[in-house]
Each structure stands twice: as structure tokens, then as C-alpha cells.
Chains A and B, each alone.
Chain A
Amino acid sequence: MNQEVSFYEVKKYKTGILNWILSTDHKRIGLLYLYSILAFFIVGVCLGLAMKLELIAPGKTIMEAQTYNAVFTFHGIIMIFLIIIPGLPAVFGNFLLPIMIGAKDVAFPKLNLLSWWIYVLGAVVALMSQFMGDGPPDTGWTFYAPYSFKTSTTMLPAIIGAFILGFSSILTGLNFIVTIHRMRAPGMTWLKMPLFPWSLYATGWIQLLSTPIVGITLLMVVAERTMNIGFFDPALGGDPVLYQHLFWIYSHPAVYIMILPAMGTISEIIPTFSQKTIFGYKAVVASTLLIAFVGYFVWGHHMYTAGMSDTAVWLFSLMTFLVAIPSAVKVFNWIATMYKGSINLKVPLYWALGFLFLFMVGGLTGLVLGAVATDVQVHDTAFVVAHFHFVMFGGVGTAFFGAMHYWFPKMYGKMYDESWAKVGFYTFIVGFLLLYMPMFWLGMYGMPRRYYDYLEQFHGGNIISSFGALVLVAGLAIIIINLVTSARKGKKAEKDPWHGKTLEWQVDSPPTLENFDTIPVVEKGPYEY
């Protein structure tokens, strides 16, 4: 086989698309995920924008209350289950993990393709809920019992879809763990492994150990709806609060499935653009594992107002605060890495800095929610929505765009347009702050979440927020259009445009089918400048 051609040129089938959807090449699978996620992201953003337009004025603006309920439910299902959970691991993990550890592919390439197919199946089943039966689901993405088995809307496809998507997530995590255990290049000991693979390793364990719990919980809701087994129905002896426990036993660790790879990405970008080794490599690794570990024991903080013993509330609050410590360790290490580095201020670093700022706001407001007294005030208000979007969109989202720009030359062999990328970044940040900042205040003053209507006193803040949504969408459009046109017409990229030190910068852009002609032997740590 000609080792010079990129993986794009290697074609097994005559029909173009079969080369993608039947490919077991980790790079093609990563891109398959990228395009699927991008498609769903556009839908999810449109739904989010629709909600913000509804909230631009009190009362009915563009949709009925029931439509609004369906829209926020579907927005949540898409953004959580279809985008942000697979997100960084499925796209960049697939594309880069084998290259970064010096392997030719993941441990189970066929299983990898299967998880993409399961993802598509799950997505199709979940989407069916919108077009079947008595209207789209209206429970919110959390499917809280008892409403999720009492409502007459089409719940089953949405719940079963989420269950199937969980399977896909488990298989990806399993694949990555085995890959990291078995396929690191000779000489790459655990503590010579780059930090993005480390974050994928921790994420893999969370995917593996927490997803089954939500899987079985969703199956119980299905049994409840179809067979009348009263697991969570008080009339049949069940307990709806137990549903919340089981749901959050998964869904809180799930936010670490989302944020850990984002942190891993930032840990790659910052050393490269500071041309300096990461400050406290071991501390960053340890904090990654600690976040993954402690993250299992904090789920109760979603349920302070749901009825729990005071001791449990106290413990969950304490554990929640503990998560702040490893998170802060990371932030300090990133800043210390930049200190006295030779900063190369390029767009990926812009996004990393954006991440730092937005994630800090999101993290600190998370402590407001983790403390019991303040949580009771802001529980189920716009404050929670603002916090969540700061961590998820401001954190994971910016890291995703950072990763997109950082590894763009490697994935496409082209450079993006620097000035448009900057315009996109600034528009995004301005729109983001306008959209979500006012929601902190609105929530503090008592505006509840998940209502299509509000009191007149909240009008001002909502106008700013809705205007911000428009700016944000414009920013997203600029970013996406810039990347798409650059992938077609951009300047040709070199092997190592950023002077990075990790292994992916030693292979061709875009890589060849088997990544490496010969498997490299690793002698140094990942960030030795």
C-alpha cells in the first residue's frame, strides 16, 4: 500500500458514501461523528433560538405553552444525548487518540463502527418521538417520574432512544480504555501519555460505570408505561424520588463525561501555544482522576428540594464542594503554564482563554448551587439554566471549538482563515455573555425555568438575553461557515503548524491510513519544549 496518500484517498468501495459509513478507520469514524453532531447541533440551536424568541416578551409570543414544553424537551434531548455526551470523545477521541498514543487504530475497530451505527439508530428512534402519536414529549430531558409515565405525549421513542444512545457511549468508552491499556507506543509509560488521552481514559471509566444505571432506570420507566409495573408510581407502592436518585447517579457523572475531555483539550492547547511544558503534569493527571472519582458521589445535589435526610444533604453538599478543588488545580496549572511562556496568540488559544473565563464563572456559580441554603433560593430558576449553559456551552462548547481550530490542520490538511475565525470567536463570546449573564440575575430574582411566560418585572433582562441569542447564533454561523469553506479552499497545512510536541504533529496532515509508517518509540514526556 502506498504510504504517502492520506486516509481520504484510500477507498474500498465505488460508491463514495460506503467508504464512510462502512469504514473501520478511526479517523473516518471520528469525522462521521463530527458531521452527525454538527447536523443535530444546528437543529438544537434553532430550538434554543425559538425558545429565546418566545421569551422576548411576556405572554404568548410565537408559540403555545405546550409547544414551548416540547421545544425545551427536545432541545435538551438533542444537546445532551446526541451532542455533548458523544461530543469530544467520539469526534476528537476517535480521530486523535490512536495517533496521540502512537497506534494504528483503536483496539476494536469494528466495535467502533458499530457504536456509530448504534448512535445513528438511537438518534433516529429519539427523533421519531417528534412525529408520532399524541405529540412530542414534554417532560424535559430528565424524564422525571411520575410525569414521564403519566403524560399522554409520545415518551417511549424518546426514552428508548436515550437508552440506545447510552449503549453507543458505553462501547466508545470501553474501546478507548482497552486501546489506552494495550496499544500505547513502546516507551509511552502512563506518565508519558499526553493529557487528552488521560482525560479520555477517565471519561471512559465514567461512561462504563455510570451509563448502565440510567439505562436500567429508563427501562424501568418503559416497563412502567407499557406493563404497569409501579417502580416509581406511588399508587402502586413505588417512589418517584427513587427515580431522581437513579437518574442522577448517572446524569451527574455524565457532566464529567462532558467536561473532562474538554479539560483534556485545554491541557493540550495551552502548552502548545505557550511553547512550554505543562505546569504540574502529575497534578493535572491526578485531578482528572479525582474529578472522575468524586463525581460519582455528588448526585444528591440535584435533589436538595426533593426530600432527603438532612445528613444526606449535608454530605452531598460537602462532596460537591470537594469537586471544586481538583477543578481549581487544573485552572491554576493552566495559568501557571502560560506564565513566562512564549505565547503564540492564535485562535485555538483564544478559545482556551474563553474556556478559562466562562468555565470559571460556571464553576463558581456551581458552588452557589452546591451550597444548600442558596440552592433553595435559586432551585429550578433561570439561574440554574445560566450556570448549566456556562459550564456546558461555555466550557465544553468553547473547548470543542478550540479543538476544532487546533486540530483542523491535522484533520483536513488545510488552514482555517485566521481573521474570520477571530471575528467568529468575538461574536460568539459577546453573544454568549449577553445571552446567559442576565439569566443569573433573572434567576436570583425568582424567574422560574421552563415557563413560556413571565412577570413584567423580568422583561428587561429577557430582552437582553434574547438579543444575545441572536448575536450568538450569528457567531456560530461565522465559525461554521469559515471552517467549512476553509476545509475546501484553505491554504495547505504543514505537518506541525503550531510546533506542537505530541505525536499527532509528527504524522502527515491529513494522516495516512495507518497513521505511522513505523510505530514510534517514545522516550520523552509529551510536552518537553
Chain B
Amino acid sequence: MEKVTTTHEHDHYDHEGSKLGMWLFIFTELLLFGGLFITYAVYKYLNPEAFHMAAEELNVGVGAINTVILLISSATIAMSITALQQNNIRLTKVMLEITMMLAITFLINKYFEWGAKISHGIYPGSDHLMEMSRGEILFYGLYFFMTGLHALHIIVGVAFIAVVYSKILKRKVNAERYVLLENSGLYWHLVDIVWIFLFPLFYLIT
């Protein structure tokens, strides 16, 4: 066990402890989505045909593009951490800017994708949806709920990265104390990995 560095109460900095805390928080996020994945699994098992039919209606192209976008953004945030460790502030900033741009692109794609579904009258509680089979109603209910919750996490993630970004500008997050950036990276990878599961479950199961 490493010794804890406690110099002064307001100057307590424990890199390992902060990272451990972030990992624990990520566990809770995984279980939050876990509850939804269980629900998905149960209803997919009960309605295999309807899930197959409904999934064919989703736009695989947009989903694939968004997957690529998130994967690249995970890479860029990882690069920003290495750049900061090497005290290359300019590169850190560029990498974080790219990450945030990609995240926003993801959300714009999502907006158009949802918009297309809604304009076809497919959204929770719509008359058109209520005419479909129960399995399809469930599929679209899960689709909007799970991708919606995921999009919310993207927004939180961008906000988190933006906060870290501003702290880098003020040199509060720097080459010696970069755990906050590392934690935002961990969070961003979480958002990424959840999407890696959502993508096949909703777009590719046909």
C-alpha cells in the first residue's frame, strides 16, 4: 500500500485515489445501463421476430458513422492525456478540441436520425407506433430510451471535458496533476463502450 500524501487539508492530492473513485463511478454507470440491457435481453427473447423487423428500419449507415466518430474521439482524448503528460499543452488543447467537435457531430447525427423517425410518426406514444405489434413498440421504446440516455451521457461527457479544458488553460490541470483529464478520458471511454454495445443491439441484429 502506497503512503498517502497529506501535506495540508486543502492541498490533498491523491492520484490513485481519484482514479479509483472514477472507476467506482464507472461501475455504477455500467450497472445503470446494465438494467436496461437486461430489459432489452428479456424482451428480445420474447419478441425475436418483431425486434428483427423493427431493427431493419434503423439506418445502419448513420449508426456506423457515429460508431467511427466515437472511436476516433476516444483515441484523440487518449492522445491528449499523453500530450499533457509530456507537457505539450498546445497538442493537448488541439486533441481535446477535436474530441469535443466529434462529440457534437455525433449529437447532430443523432438529432437527424431521431428527427427522421419522429417525422415518420415513430416516437413513444405516437398513434402510428401504437398500431404496430407489441414487440415493435417495445423495440422503439427501448431504442429511444437507451440512445436518449446515452446521448445525455455524451452531453455530460462534453461538459466534463470542457471543464477540464478550461482548467488546462488556467494551468490547474497540468503535467504533474493530470488526473482530472485522465478521469474525463475514462468517462469518455465509458460513453464510447456503451455505444459499442448499443450499435449492434439496435442496428445490426437484423
Q: A residues engaging B (CB < 8 A)? A: 103-105, 107-108, 111, 170, 174-175, 177-178, 181-184, 186, 189, 208-213, 215-217, 219-220, 223, 227-231, 236-239, 242, 246, 249, 514, 519
What is the bound-complex CA distance between A230 and B137, given in angstroms? 8
Given A238-B138, A246-B38, CB of A182 within 8 Å of CB of B6: no
On whether the beta carbons of B137 and A209 are closer than 8 Å, the reply is no
Given A229-B144, A237-B135, CB of A107 within 8 Å of CB of B39: no
What is the bound-complex CA distance between A216 and B149, given in angstroms? 10
Residues of chain B lying within 8 A (CB to CB) of residue A178: 17, 20-21, 24
Give 9 closest A-B pairs by Cβ, nearest first. Answer: A237-B134, A228-B125, A216-B35, A229-B141, A212-B31, A212-B32, A182-B17, A227-B124, A237-B138
On whether the beta carbons of B6 and A519 are closer than 8 Å, the reply is yes
Query: Closest Cβ of chain B: how far from A254's Cβ, in Å?
Result: 14
**Within residues 9 to 63 of chain B, which ones have a CB less than 8 A from any CB in chain A?**
9, 12, 14, 16-17, 20-21, 24-25, 27-29, 31-36, 38-39, 42-43, 46-47
On whether the beta carbons of B21 and A213 are closer than 8 Å, the reply is no
Q: Is B120 among interface residues, defined by CB-CB distance under 8 A?
A: no
Interface of B: prevailing SS: helix
Q: Is B145 among interface residues, defined by CB-CB distance under 8 A?
A: yes
What is the bound-complex CA distance between A62 and B34, given in angstroms? 45
* 19 pairs, A vs B, C-beta closer than 8 Å: A103-B4, A105-B9, A170-B28, A174-B28, A177-B20, A183-B17, A186-B3, A212-B29, A213-B31, A220-B145, A227-B124, A228-B125, A230-B137, A237-B43, A237-B47, A237-B133, A237-B137, A238-B138, A514-B9
What is the bound-complex CA distance between A181 and B43, given in angstroms? 40
What is the bound-complex CA distance between A242 and B39, given in angstroms? 8
Query: Closest Cβ of chain A: how far from B5's Cβ, in Å?
Result: 10
What is the bound-complex CA distance between A209 and B27, given in angstroms? 7
Q: Which residue of B lies closest to A229 (CB)?
A: B141
Query: Closest Cβ of chain A: how far from B26's Cβ, in Å?
Result: 10
Q: B residues engaging A (CB < 8 A)? A: 1, 3-4, 6, 9, 12, 14, 16-17, 20-21, 24-25, 27-29, 31-36, 38-39, 42-43, 46-47, 124-125, 133-135, 137-138, 141, 144-145, 149
Interface of A: prevailing SS: helix
Given A107-B21, A178-B24, CB of A217 within 8 Å of CB of B35: yes
Residues of chain B lying within 8 A (CB to CB) of residue A189: 1
Query: Closest Cβ of chain A: how far from B42's Cβ, in Å?
Result: 6
On whether the beta carbons of A177 and B31 are closer than 8 Å, the reply is no
Query: Closest Cβ of chain B: how far from A112's Cβ, in Å?
Result: 12
Interface centre among A111, A183, A215, A237, by most B CB within 10 Å?
Answer: A237
Query: Closest Cβ of chain A: how far from B54's Cβ, in Å?
Result: 12
Q: Which of B35, B125, B144, B149 is the one whose CB lies under 8 Å from A213? A: B35
